[in-house]
Amino acid sequence: MIAVLLFVLAWNLVRSRTGRAMIAVRDQEIALPRWASTSPG
């Protein structure tokens, strides 16, 4: 029962505006080294 509740909370967080923002920040941090290595400077 607790696992189901935690799953629902996590699912709602990911689908919320805050969750999408956190995912975008995570993806940006993953992509950052690629940009740093290919940018002129």
Residue 14: partners with Cβ closer than 8 Å, 6 or more residues away: 20, 23
Residue 24: partners with Cβ closer than 8 Å, 6 or more residues away: none
The reported pLDDT for the residue numbered 34 is 57
The reported pLDDT for the residue numbered 4 is 94
- Across 9-29, b (16+ Cβ under 10 Å) vs e yields eeeeeeeeeeeeeeeeeeeee
Residue 20: partners with Cβ closer than 8 Å, 6 or more residues away: 14
The reported pLDDT for the residue numbered 6 is 95
Prediction pTM value: 0.49
Encode pLDDT of 1-41 as tens digits: 999 999 999 999 888 988 888 888 887 766 666 555 555 55
